[in-house]
Amino acid sequence: MTWEIVIGIETHVQLQTESKIFSTASTAFGAAPNSQASFVDCALPGTLPVMNRKAVECAIKFGLAVNAGDSKNIARRSVFARKNYFYPDLPKGYQLSQMELPVVTGGSVTIQVDGKDKVVTLTRAHLEEDAGKSLHEGLDTPGVSGIDLNRAGTPLLEVVTEPDMRSAAEAVAYAKALHGIVTWIGICDGNMQEGSFRCDANVSVRREGEALGTRCEIKNLNSFRFMERAINYEVRRQIEVIGDGGRVAQQTRLYDADRNETRAMRSKEDAMDYRYFPCPDLLPLVITEDDIEKVSASMVASPQTMQARFQASYGLSEYDAKLLTVDRVTARYFEDVVSAGAETKLAANWINGELAAMLNRHDMDIAQRPVSAGSFSQLLQRIMDGSVSSKSARDLLGLMWAGEHQGDVDALIKAHGLTQMADVSAIEKIVDDVIAANEKSVVEFKSGKERALQSLVGQVMKATGGKANPTQVNTILREKLGAN
Amino acid sequence: MSFDPTALTQLAKLSSLNLAPATLSQLSDDMSSIFGLIDALQAVDTTGIAPLSHPLDTIADMTLNCREDVAVATDPVSALANAPETENGLFLVPRVIE
Amino acid sequence: MSEAYPTIASLAERIRTKQISATELAEDGLRRVADNAALNAFFPVSRDLTLAEAKAADVRIAAGETSPLLGIPIAHKDIFVTCGWPTTAGSKMLEGYISPFDATVVEKLKAAGVVSLGKLNCDEFAMGSSNENSAFGAVKNPWDRSRIPGGSSGGSAAAVAAGIVPATTGTDTGGSLRQPAAMCGITAIKPTYGRVSRYGMVAFASSLDQAGSMAHTAQDCALLLDAMAGSDERDSTSLNSEKANASIWRAFSANIASKHPLNKGFENLRIGVPKEWMTYAGDLEGTRTDGIHMDVAVAIHHALDVFTNHGATLVDIPLPRTALSIPAYYVIASAEASSNLSRFDGVRYGHRAAEYTDLNSMIFNSRTEGFGHEVKRRILTGAYVLSHGYFDAYYLQAQRVRRLIAEDFQAAFEHCDLIMGPVAPTTAWKIGEKSKNPTAMYLEDIFTLGVSLAGLPGMSIPCGFGLNNMPVGLQIIGNYFDEAKMLADAHRFQQLTDWHQQHPGVKS
């Protein structure tokens, strides 16, 4: 008896605008409580919402990006509705959202699972405002919670999928792909720790051939790792419930990362009647062909287009080009490094190799890199002109990362004496010494063991303190040993 | 049409209002009276008529004006000036249990 | 020394000729407020705030500024938020609330140089037709203090009728400017929806609320409305077209100045009279209304005679869905109100209960204590008509009927230039007479609601007296953006008659 898992994902994407969706307060993260809450955000009597143009543009961008540039899925006329309920972080007592006529209907996101492509269909995407935050700790007054409305009114695009995913892996692949899209097109900064990208997973199970099971919603998953674990736990839980002869109750649940389990929320929201109706303070949003044209023209090429361009213009392999176009910052960095003078293949190798490794080691995002494209290019050019060996260059990168000499490549080379040995006669002398001191290896090499040569190269490198060019050393050794 | 007291209690809950049991009966009568008036709407044939949300929709295509995305500094002191209870710039409410 | 019932025009003249200063006028005004305390029209005044405004006006006058509203004392309905003066909206929910910003209307009038004497009592959250729903006591009609002044802008109407100030601001959602004006024998105008910004107006029903002016004359109303009107980027429903932003005063003045060849005044004016409105003592299409009372009908007919004697023609027009405007209005207004009032939860401002056990009880208790009976009834009604399963049958149905009503008016305007008729079926009733039965009061609004639903401009001008010597108002309804024409014809009527010069205690 096989179980089928059915998953749908709702994602709240925080749009990257300067001001809120219906008020002029700033959306910058991390400000002091209520320092970015305008009179409108506080829902003071007499205040009214005014739409932010940029939020609309973000929605249009998204609609185009998930429909291969075809604007058929963008509603030319959409309506804002009030979702009525009481909660202290919801100042108006209603959330401005879109119900019957959302700004985007349809579209899709393609994911790769086990090497195969799968299409996840989007039901809709709509604009809405975020609520504020409640703080429960760190207050002197006992028995209270503190409400911070800085986040209230931040523009969100809620993206909803059809229940197309069949495993936690697929769900995570979708979430990552969606994350890639919204950051690529520049509508979201993708910072999950700051809450810019939050997923709710609707999970249900059913025995093969049966009708859809009751689903539970796991809310506010703000990490891919947690999403995977939470869904897996929930699936196991549901199967157990049914296996024990029980019924899965429709619930909203939260994931507890410490315990690795999902828990039902203590909320009265079950069976809440939101009494949606079109907001009379906002007129219908009309998007014209002109609006769409303008946004379309301003959009950056898709990752696929950029990858193709990199392969064509820079002569890169598909593999290299794909890695470099995984996000816009990396792609940009590559192009800046190359335009500053580095050779394309070298740049690709080093960015996808050494740089990626450094970022990983320091648990950093490329956006946080401490080495500018200019400096990085400079480093690569010193390899190209033979000033330093690859190994020294690796060491240099570490020093640049740490900020020594403000990352000035030439200053660092000088300071640490990393200049590659250019004096051939000096190298030759050392090679002669090594040959003389390693008769066994010489014999082995001459009798066909390539590895013996590496050992000799290693000895020479050691004797030169790593400053000789290994390729050059290799050549000189072969010459002297009479092999070619 | 007599207004069902259970429905009334449910509506009050949705509206975050307490209904004193003593007033329930009178309120029920009042609501019955109001809905007696309102039910006249049901008799009207409105087939093919679109709802009118904005009065001037009949004379012009009323559509939403948008503003430029510019952030303006807020005035937190003024915004919080009428708050019943605050601490460190936060609005205080009885403990929220999630 | 001072006139008992000055107009803006006469005061402006006295200011211009340096006979009186803004400060003297303000002091005089504050005295009048005190003398008329029994009317309960005003909330507690603030001498400091008023005199500061007066001083600022005097500075501008001394500098040679001559704008027509400079130094004129007025007062604002307590639905407009004001810095300095508290705003209660007639409710315990907002007792002591001081807004950190001024409503756009207040801002604009301040810029024009008016001097505010304070805030005016009104029905709680503008819900009512008698000003008996105020949490701070009923307002009395200056003509007969045992009677209601009308509502919800009862305080605004009483203040003008009693001669405390020459003009006031008010709001109209279903008739709240026109009806109290009729009850108190003064002039008022509710403009086309969207012509005046709603920013800073405590919201009752967003698609119906409109601010307007009240005064003794159409000319004064025009002056005040002109300063109040204009697009506002802080209100998305505020119209931003050439038509909407055109100066009402300029158009009004041009209209007044134009002379008809035969100089009769109303040549070429076709006045539509809704036959359903002039039906008396009968059943209007099966609803429980008595129709217009005879005394009101007589006054209306006499007023219409003035127009026809001076060249106008009367045209019978059908407004068949007049009675349906009542349920349609109450569904829509209650629905919008129930949502607009959800922000009052005791968290960020307003009344917070003293006793509660947890968050929920804090919110429930605060709202239960803060809101009055009528407000609660409307919140519950609104919640019901929006609830799942009833939304289509009530809310959407009401919006469809709304469209039909708006179309009825447009059809009528094919045959006439202005529509005229009564404002209310009766003159002012006794305080307490209709407050026991909520629907009895709703039926009184039958002639004003449709205009609000359609978003059309509507006026009330005094046109005589009815039973118990109480004033009767003539309603003038124009098509969208016809304010200037309405005001000009009302002004012409006021040149030919003197109803607008009748005052309590000064009757000829």
Say whether residue A298 is in contact with chain B using an 8 A CB cutoff. Answer: no
State the Cα–Cα distance between residues A482 and A475, nearest whole angstrom. Answer: 11
Could you confirm whether C119 is annotated as catalytic? no
In 3D space, the residue among C186, C170, C158 whose CA is nearest the CA of residue C431 turns out to be C158
Report the largest interatomic distance among the alpha carbons of chain B, rounded to a whole angstrom: 58
Residue matched to tokens 């640049």: A400
Secondary structure tally for chain C: helices H, strands E: 17, 10
Burial of C95 (0-12, 13-18, 19+ CB in 10 A): middle
* C-alpha to C-alpha distances, A261 to A226, A230, A243, A412, B33, nearest whole angstrom: 10, 7, 19, 51, 52
Interface of B with C in 39-98 (CB under 8 A): 39-42, 44, 46, 49-56, 58-60, 64-65, 67, 75, 78-85, 91, 93-97
C-alpha A1, offset from chain centre: 38
User: Cα–Cα distances in Å, from A7 out to A109, A115, A238?
Assistant: 15, 20, 13
Catalytic residue among C77, C119, C190, C434: C77
Catalytic residue among C91, C129, C153, C176: C176
Low-confidence ranges of chain B (pLDDT < 50): 1
Which of C425, C418, C500 minimizes the C-alpha distance to C187?
C500
Residue of C nearest to B33 (CA): C439
- In order along its 484 residues, chain A shows pLDDT tens digits of 689 999 999 999 999 999 999 999 999 999 999 999 999 999 999 999 999 999 999 999 999 999 988 999 999 999 999 999 999 999 999 999 999 899 999 999 999 888 889 999 999 999 999 999 999 988 999 999 999 999 999 999 999 999 999 999 999 999 999 999 999 999 999 999 899 999 999 999 998 888 889 999 999 898 999 999 999 999 999 999 998 989 998 888 999 989 999 998 865 555 689 999 999 999 999 999 999 999 999 998 888 889 999 999 999 999 999 999 988 889 999 999 999 999 999 999 999 999 999 998 888 888 888 999 999 999 999 999 888 888 888 988 998 998 888 878 888 888 887 787 777 788 888 888 888 888 888 888 888 888 888 888 888 888 887 778 888 888 888 888 875 4
For domain C8-253, say whether CATH 3.90.1300.10 is its number: yes
Chain A residues close to C344, C-beta within 8 Å: 93
Six token digits for residue A139: 């207050």
What is the sign of the dihedral through the CA atoms of A18, A20, A24 and A26?
negative
**A53, A139, A254 member nearest B67 (Cβ):** A53
Per-residue pLDDT reduced to its tens digit, C151-184: 999 999 999 999 999 999 999 999 999 999 999 9
Region of residue C110 (left: phi > 0; alpha: psi -120 to 50; beta: else) = alpha
Q: What are chain A's partners, defined as 3 or more CB pairs within 8 angstroms?
A: B, C
Best probe of the A interface among B13, B18, B66, B69, by most A CBs < 10 A, is B69
Domain ranges, ordered by start, for chain C: 8-253
C193 has a chain B CB within 8 A of its CB: yes
DSSP-H helix ranges across A362-449: 373-384, 390-402, 409-415, 424-437, 439-446
Size of interface A-B (CB pairs under 8 A): 133
CA proximity to B8, closest of A481, C291, C380, A279: C380
Domain total in chain B? 1
Q: Are C314 and C304 in contact (CB under 8 A)?
A: yes
d(CA C6, CA C166): 6
Distances (CA, A) of C388 to A97, A274, A346, B47, C381: 17, 8, 64, 21, 14
Q: For strands C270-274 and C313-317, give the pairing.
A: parallel
Q: Do B34 and C404 touch (CB under 8 A)?
A: no
Which chains, if any, share at least 3 CB pairs under 8 A with chain B? A, C
Residue B60 falls inside a structural domain: no
pLDDT value at residue A337 = 95
Q: Is residue B25 part of a domain?
A: yes
User: Is B58 domain-assigned?
Assistant: no
- Residues near C229 by beta carbon (within 8 Å), at least 6 away in sequence: C191, C195, C196, C245, C248
Q: Which of C98, C348, C385, C392 to mutate to test the interface with A (most CBs of A within 10 A)?
A: C348
Does residue C152 have an active-site annotation? Answer: yes
Each residue's pLDDT tens digit, C235-265: 999 998 888 899 999 999 999 988 655 555 8
Residue in chain C closest to A88 (alpha carbons) equals C347
DSSP C126: G
Whether C436 is a known active-site residue: answer no
Beginning with the edge strand found earlier in the chain, give each strand of the sheet holding A94-97 in spatial order: A94-97, A81-84, A277-278
Q: What CA–CA distance (Å, rounded) separates A280 from A107? A: 29
Question: What residues in B contact A32, CB-CB < 8 Å?
Answer: 89
CA distance B89 to chain C (A): 11
Q: Which of A40, A44, A90, A276 to mutate to test the interface with C (most CBs of C within 10 A)?
A: A44
Helix C218-228 with C248-257: angle, nearest 10 deg: 150
Tell me which residue of A33, A13, A214 sits closest to A133, measured CA to CA.
A33
Provide the residue range defining the domain that includes B42. 5-49
CB-CB neighbours of C391 under 10 Å: 18
Q: Nearest 5°: phi and psi at C405?
A: -65, -45
* C-beta atoms of A283 and C236 within 8 A: yes
**Cβ contacts of residue C203 below 8 Å, gap of 6+?**
A45, A46, A281, C209, C336, C340
Distance from the Cα of residue C275 to its chain's centroid? 25
Among residues C69, C230, C187, C91, the alpha carbon closest in space to that of C460 is found at: C187
In the block, tokens 């947690």 appear at A226
In a mutagenesis test of the B interface, which of A58, A147, A275 is the best target, namely the one with the most B β-carbons within 10 Å? A147
Inter-CA distances, A129 with A15, A123, C378, Å: 10, 20, 27
pLDDT value at C192 more than 50: yes
**Percent of chain C at pLDDT above 90?**
88
CA A11 centroid distance within chain:
14
Using DSSP's 3-state secondary structure scheme, residue A216 falls into strand
Are the C-beta atoms of residues C377 and B30 closer than 8 Å to each other? yes
8 A C-beta contact, residue C428 and residue C143: yes
Domain limits, chain A: 3-290, 301-415, 424-480
Q: Encode burial over C260-273: b for 16+ CB neighbours within 10 A, e otherwise.
A: eeeeebbeebbbbb
CA–CA gap between residue A107 and residue C224 (Å, rounded): 53
Q: Is A277 exposed, middle or buried (0-12, 13-18, 19+ CB in 10 A)?
A: buried
Instruction: Name the catalytic one among C21, C129, C130, C152.
Output: C152
Q: Are C371 and C379 in contact (CB under 8 A)?
A: yes
User: Which chain B residues in 13-42 lie under 8 Å from chain C, judged by CB atoms?
Assistant: 14-18, 27, 30-31, 33-42
- ipTM over cut 0.90: yes
- Judged by CB atoms closer than 8 Å, whether chains meet at C348 and B40 is answered as no
Neighbours of C245 (CB within 10 A): 13
CB contact under 8 A, C100 and B81: yes
- Chain B residue at shortest CA distance from A145: B95
The residues in C 37-76 lying below 8 A from B, measured between CB atoms, are none
Q: What is the pLDDT of residue C378?
A: 96
Cα-trace Rg, chain B: 23
Residue from the list C100, C339, C383 with its beta carbon closest to the beta carbon of A39: C100
B-chain residues near C331 (CB < 8 A): 38, 41
Model pLDDT, residue C29: 97
Domain covering A424-480: architecture: Orthogonal Bundle (1.10)
Residue A119 near chain C (CB below 8 Å): no
Chain B residues inside the 8 Å CB shell of A49: none
Cα–Cα distance measured from residue A161 to residue A9, given in angstroms and rounded to the nearest whole number: 6
Are A94 and C342 within 8 A, CB to CB? yes
Q: Which of B22, B25, B42 is nearest to B33 (CA)?
A: B25
The answer for residues whose C-beta is within 8 angstroms of residue A238's C-beta and 6 or more apart is A203, A204, A205, A213, A216, A248
pTM: 0.89
User: Is some CB atom of chain C closer than 8 A to the CB atom of B1?
Assistant: no
Task: For A96, name the nearest residue in chain C, comparing CA atoms only.
Answer: C339
The answer to whether B17 touches C376, Cβ cutoff 8 Å, is yes
Numbered residues of chain C with Cβ closer than 8 Å to any chain A Cβ = 80-81, 87, 89, 94, 97, 99-101, 103, 198-203, 205-207, 233-237, 335-336, 338-339, 341-345, 347-349, 359, 363, 383, 386-388, 391, 395
Q: b/e per residue, C143-159, with b = 16+ CB within 10 A?
A: bbeebbbbbbbbbbbbb
* Host H or E run for residue A198: strand A197-207
Look up tokens 């045209």; give the residue: C315
- Provide the sign of the torsion angle of the four alpha carbons A81, C195, C272, C440, taken in this order: positive
Residue B18 sits at the chain A interface (C-beta within 8 Å): no
Judge: B59–C240 Cβ closer than 8 Å, yes or no.
no
Rounded to whole angstroms, the Cα distance separating A481 from A472 reads 14
Res. C296: pLDDT tops 80? yes
Residue B9 falls inside a structural domain: yes
Average pLDDT over residues C92-99: 97
C217-236 pLDDT, tens digit each: 999 999 999 999 999 999 99
Task: Among B62, B67, B96, select the one facing A145 at the smallest CB separation.
Answer: B96
Amino acid occupying residue A86 = F
CB within 8 Å: A281 and C236: yes
Q: Which of B11, B74, B85 to mutate to test the interface with A (most CBs of A within 10 A)?
A: B74
Whether the pLDDT of residue C288 is over 50: the answer is no
pLDDT at C281 over 60: no
pLDDT of residue C282: 45
Q: How far is CA C307 from CA A188, A472, C255, C492, in A?
A: 65, 111, 17, 9
How close A143 comes to chain C (CA, Å)?
9
Residue among B35, B39, B94 minimizing CB distance to C359: B94
